[in-house]
Amino acid sequence: ILTASFLSYPVFRTLSLQLHSAVTGSYLSSTYSVVFVNCPNEQIARDIARAILDKKLAASVNILPMASSLYFWNGEIKEATEFLLLIKTKTSKVRMLSSYIRFMHPFEVPEVFSLPMDQGDVRYLKWLDEGTGED
């Protein structure tokens, strides 16, 4: 019970995950995430990518061009061409990252969701840690 309450504090959880990674040479699932964000054009995609990298909310962003999107909006099926951001970050930063994207994104309801990384090269994940700074 003490361990569970100890790990409920973000700082202690982060430290214990880092200790686990250092000792075992691996990492625990859900420590890192990929965040998906759609953007209406390339310039907005680049602006958002640069802003979140500047704030160290992510270590890397891929911009995938010209995805065709079909979706429901106000009861109608809509079509658009969008750019997709694949954002690599720490799971602990996803909430702040999502809030920041909602603040600067031009869509009324931007597509922002994340998936945990279940596997990864330890050297890449160490680089990801360095790119996002300390929690």
Tally Cβ neighbours within 10 Å of residue 41. Answer: 13
What percentage of the chain reaches a pLDDT higher than 70? 76
Domain regions of the chain by residue span: 30-132
One of 3.40.50.300, 3.40.50.10320, 3.30.70.120, 3.60.10.10 is the CATH number of 30-132, namely: 3.30.70.120
State if pTM tops 0.75: yes
Handedness of CA 8, 10, 12, 15 (dihedral sign): positive
Partnered with residue 85 across adjacent β-strands are 37, 63
pLDDT over 90 (residue 73): yes
Q: What is the pLDDT of residue 11?
A: 55
